[in-house]
Amino acid sequence: MGPVKENLRRKPRSLSGATILQIVPALSDDPIGHAAVDIALTLLQSGARAIVAGDGGPLVGDLRAFGGEWLPMPNATFNPLRINANARKLAHLIAGERIDIVHAHSAGAAWSALSATRRMPVFLVTSFPDEVAAHSWPGTSLRSSLARGDRVIAPSSYVSRAMIERYAISPDRIAVIPRSVDTAKFNPAAVSAERIAAIRRVWGVLPQMRVVLVTGRIAPGNGQMSVIEAARLLVAGGDRNFAIVFAGEDRGQGALVKSLWARARQHSIDTLCRVVGQPTDMPAALAAADLVVVPALKPPLSGRAVAEAQAIGRPVIATTVGVLPENVLCPPRMRDDLRTGWLVRPNNVTEMARAIGAALAMDVTAYEALGARARQFAEFAFSPQSVAEAIRGVYTSLLARDA
């Protein structure tokens, strides 16, 4: 931080009375758009002023409905002329509106904000995306703007470690805050028995059969074949009272789907398997399951599937890749009696079968207790309110440094 910028700092202050500007690509119905609106609401409840700049979208009305302010500012670009124009606009906005913190949710916005805030008394917060992009030029250089905020928000420790290594960010500048999930929508109390029964009928599952739901697009890197092999081991051990439901988009994967069916027939478990495509009612699909499995072989873009399953109160089995281990409570990270699921090594069929068997063998009391813990964990870690509060904490810590 330059001396001119440091000397321009105003007196110490709290969040109340501060003005925070978030810059997003657009206020779309997507994780970034919803996060910006949730943060704005939390700021207003704290007595701060909340401004969001970006392209329009369906969430502009939601933002304005509770008193947030929206400014049109296309910024999803690396065009130098557009970045410079946005930087000039931001500089005037910061000065005219007495903005205290700028939060850039994208690399293009961060470049403009870096230029605009260089000699102004304002803090810059940046947010890394979920994906750890390939290390290449010019992509790595263009995304380096996200590593230069006064505070940097990473959606997971997995992303944080990669960004520390790539950009040599000091760990004390990084705050790990997960993406939120809609815990009101993914709530067992919000899913009727009729919706659950309807989706089980569509799947062709008998009432007494337990459902092992395998979520995620059907693709070689998503590990569906390992679940087929695990099911073979369970059946060999005498358990056939379950159905394996593969619920995910399968376009362009006809050969893999055929291979799944061929392997299931080879092991005489094809009658236990269903390939149902992407459910239109995902909360009901999760609620209709007894167990949710995310058998990824490669790091997924996010841990959303695991978080949503726990929000609906279902135990999960996930592999130890990417962000997934961060989103499940189980030994050795947590005591066994506090677990919300199981972690297994990718493509380790024996571990997968053992975990599925353990989950299906729980008695009603243990199963309901685990489901309640999973729901409680999801509310604590992934609810929009919890995530917005954590980001508010980042803003508050910056303002407390203001001198």
Output the pLDDT for position 283. Answer: 98
Candidates 60, 75, 162, 66; CA nearest to 110 is 75
243: closest CA among 267, 279, 214? 214
Structural domains of the chain, ranges and CATH numbers in brackets: 3-180+383-401 (3.40.50.2000), 188-382 (3.40.50.2000)
* Residues of the chain above pLDDT 70, percent: 94
- What pLDDT is recorded for position 240? 84
pLDDT at residue 138 in the model: 52
Mean pLDDT value of segment 281-308: 96
The mean pLDDT value for 289-318 works out to 96
Q: What is the pLDDT of residues 356-368, one digit of tens each?
A: 999 999 999 999 9
The tens digit of pLDDT for each residue in 19-54 reads: 999 999 999 999 999 999 999 999 999 999 999 999
Write the pLDDT tens digit of every residue in 131-168: 776 665 555 666 789 999 999 999 999 999 999 999 99
The pLDDT tens digits for 202-237 are: 999 998 899 999 999 999 999 999 999 999 999 999
Q: Which pLDDT value is given to residue 77?
A: 75
pLDDT at 7: 44
**Mean pLDDT on 274-297:** 97
What are 311-366's pLDDT values in tens digits?
Answer: 999 999 999 999 999 999 999 999 999 999 999 999 999 999 999 999 999 999 99
**pLDDT at residue 4 tops 50:** no
* Tens-digit pLDDT profile for residues 61-106: 999 999 999 999 988 777 788 888 989 999 999 999 999 999 999 9
- How many other C-beta atoms lie within 10 A of the C-beta of residue 38? 20
Q: Annotate 57-92 with b (16+ C-beta within 10 A) or e (fewer).
A: bebbebbeeeebbbeebbbebeeeebbeebbebbbe
Residue 78 pLDDT: 75
Residue 403 has pLDDT above 80, yes or no: no
With contact defined as beta carbons under 8 Å apart, do 287 and 312 qualify?
yes
Helix then strand then coil, % of the chain, to nearest 5: 50, 15, 35
